[in-house]
Chains A and B, each alone.
Chain A
């Protein structure tokens, strides 16, 4: 907020739009607009321009409809403006686009006092003992046995295994270190802007566009995930072993590795005490339908239900890799360089020789190493390999599966208090085996995720006032690998939702609606245009029949497959042991290697694959 104040007052058009969207008094609208501007500063150019275009278009609409500028509208005219904008399909899309950051900024502001009041719980554990050197203090020339690119789920596990095996390991991380003190003192909106790549505005272009927030920091996306731990389904492992030739995915071999990861993460089911109203609602609804549901298993020993997983746990209860694998690695001698973007993996004569990284000031440093493990994430690994001249395989960047998610919410007479309790607490897996639909009770803060409350103006404001009566569910579907990561300087994502997956998303909305209605919801928010709120099964069926998948609000959090591992050199850029083909000494050990969507939250799968791949790093042989 300070930065915005230094920049000067936000554009009054934006403040006017915030006032219109959320029916706010002027001073509150100005504060919310400040928050939006601050967040906009973190966005990539395209997203910033889109936001400005949205505000500009709203301004034009204001003038043409009311004869006055957006900033100078009185409440009545504002209400008229949003009603008109909301009624036309094109402008409704525009309104939804602008609503997301506005809801985020408003929600952060509104929740701040309560979050501060609840922060009487001290941290469950201190920050991990890490050897982190920000890149300005890292020498321009250094040498290691292994360089690991990325300190997330995959990179941290590899670093730990190799450091314990006696190798000198340097982990290069693009983001910075975050500590629990920061999560306890800074506002959620600011944390959101810092913890996510591009301010959380990574979008896979397509119909519908899929918003794909990616974490960035020491600890990677495990800093901001919900902490849900699923063992890889046996069916998925068998498919990887048999259809893709990944021998280490054989359940008999992979099971013990998953056991070790579970032990490292100290997983346990969500305790009743912190379950929260959102999870209990989901359990109630599933029980009423006779559907299989259970508390989720999570890596969060000591969780107090602060419901801030998505912006960093303020009690360090969520046991991300920055609290277990990375400290283990550093204890064994690994070193972490932060705020360093790897420009290229260096190689010569067909062998890896190290990495070249760029500091924030533009200067370059080089680390020589005979082995390089790339774990930059499914969206960043392909561009990195292309920049390095190692991206020739035709399948690199392709076969992106995102595990798309839609959200449905239910209104209840009694308060649900979704934000008092675990953010992602219960899994309803009734339709998982049969249809690949995994429903999880997820109380994401407004604007963060795929739930966009319908309407604008007074209608939206009323809903926000009553949001403690809202229970939210999310559903992910095991999708076909219909996406691509293109680009080498910056990742550009494309995702073309297949018709079958589109229908499954619609079916998922139906399933979630039925759970909520069975739990006693008086109305269900579907996210389907034209049928945003339904009150009973009949209306729900009607809404589903008219649902257009291309116009759903879809988010995704589990990108995989862009450097798939497997036994076929033509299909798989990475071999079945994790070695990148075409060069000696480069491994890939992140979500990119998963040959297909894992069908569940993937952090354990990624970590177990990374642990298996790590056993082969340094063997010096070429990929088969």
Chain B
């Protein structure tokens, strides 16, 4: 049985027009061109033979397509034909279908340069002018991208990841010294109000102590100070989700009452789960703790009543997240930024409580979902980012592969709540949280000559963030 192989590759270069066409001076002048593709091969690369695979990704070519989805095929034949051929089909911004057809011609005496140089031809792929070559392009693979390519290699069939419904189920199996959290954050765009529902089950280190299920609800009105109320503690329910003291967090239902805050909501959608921590660390206890986002871009419908002020929410954006581990981190920072159109940035920067490791700076797990693709694909990217945590402003920045990220989060004191946490071992921590934070996000992409802005967002009052510190 052949083992499928996957990896992602990015190449950048430029193209220029050729052939008959508009008079000189008109038309498209050419410019930077590059692509980033996920390669899927039915079997690993065969040095002596030829392997054919599929490509899925995006192409950008100045004058043709700003950022177009692309699909195609790849042929890898290192010794038999000494060729690696890429055929990519994409639709230009004006609707014209294009095809890039190029191949690396391997010369073993100059293997380094021939393996990373890809000349190709761009033709019109459909319509009246089908088959006409309109340009030639050359793209290169930069050696500094090699670590991210190697890190992206996956052997074996893609594992079927569980969906958001499955991830709502309780993970805790009853052993002591564990903390499991279900939490929701959402913002009503009509009023600018933010909301936070936090449900957790704490199984103390000492098995003699009772297991506590409790939580809190918080509302952050646009005008006035935030309000938060605890519910519980009580015994955790028997059901698959969270249930305690009348508060329910099921597959789609969120109902409950905490002090003067009551809520009755239904959550839907969200897109595929966002694995802030790799799925393997969620399934198995490889790390002290892990956080994932089963519904990164969900919609909440229902009512939240704060005191005598009802908020009717008709499909407001938010996210459902989960945490499981031995307890909270030594110090941490968390950001959920909804960038619109299903794009999301999730950051969890944490210093673990393990002795020795607790002196390290917080390790940021960054997950950016843009255009349906999640980046970085490798957890090792955490080493490339650095977080400077503090209040009221904290930052995360770094560079991995072809992207550079800079995030600045501001949590004004008058918009924050300070919640006390208790770990399974009894230690306490304080979390300063607001669902009306400000986040400025800058994503840049490396081109052969410079950094080009790929996306820039300023979430003024709609970012969800918190800083945790001890005691």
Contacts and interface: CB of A to CB of B under 8 A. Distances in A.
A binds B: yes
Interface of A: 137, 139-143, 346, 348-349, 353, 356, 364, 366, 368
B57 interface: no
Given A366-B103, A366-B105, A139 B136 contact: yes
A518 to B, nearest CB: 61
A140 B81 contact: no
A140 B136 contact: yes
A349 B121 CA distance: 25
A125 B50 CA distance: 51
Given A139-B18, A142-B133, A364-B105, 18 more contacts: A139-B136, A140-B138, A141-B102, A141-B120, A141-B121, A142-B121, A143-B101, A346-B81, A348-B77, A348-B80, A348-B82, A349-B50, A349-B80, A353-B81, A353-B83, A356-B105, A366-B103, A366-B105
Nearest to B100: A141
Interface in B59-90: 77, 80-83
A137 B81 contact: no
A142 B119 CA distance: 10
15 contacts: A139-B121, A139-B133, A140-B119, A140-B120, A140-B136, A140-B138, A141-B121, A141-B136, A143-B101, A346-B81, A348-B83, A353-B81, A364-B105, A366-B105, A368-B103
Interface centre among A137, A139, A140, A364 (most CB of B within 10 A): A139
B-side interface mostly: strand
A353 B81 CA distance: 8
A349 B46 CA distance: 14
Nearest to A363: B119
A235 B124 CA distance: 53
A230 B398 CA distance: 78
Interface residues of B, number: 17
A346 B82 CA distance: 10
Nearest to B49: A349
A142 B18 CA distance: 13
A356 B81 CA distance: 13
A507 to B, nearest CB: 55
A348 B81 CA distance: 5
Nearest to B133: A139
B18 A137 contact: yes
Contacts of B136: 139-141
A141 B80 CA distance: 19
Contact of A141 (B50, B77, B82, B119): B119
Contacts of B50: 349
B101 A141 contact: yes
Contacts of A137: 18
Contacts of B103: 141, 366, 368
Those 3 A-B pairs whose CB atoms lie nearest each other, nearest first: A348-B81, A140-B119, A139-B136
B35 to A, nearest CB: 15
A139 B82 CA distance: 19
Contacts of B18: 137, 139
Nearest to A143: B101
A1 B80 CA distance: 51
Interface in B86-122: 101-103, 105, 119-121
Contacts of B133: 139, 142
A203 B182 CA distance: 89
Contacts of A143: 101
B128 to A, nearest CB: 16
Contacts of B119: 139-141
A471 B136 CA distance: 57
B81 A349 contact: yes
A23 B138 CA distance: 61
A148 B103 CA distance: 21
Nearest to B120: A141
Contacts of A348: 77, 80-83
A141 B133 CA distance: 11
A619 B77 CA distance: 24
A146 to B, nearest CB: 16
A346 B77 CA distance: 13
Contacts of A139: 18, 119, 121, 133, 136
Contacts of B77: 348
Contacts of A141: 101-103, 119-121, 136
A366 B136 CA distance: 13
A170 B119 CA distance: 19
A143 B133 CA distance: 11
Interface centre among A141, A143, A349, A368 (most CB of B within 10 A): A141
B33 to A, nearest CB: 14
A155 B189 CA distance: 72
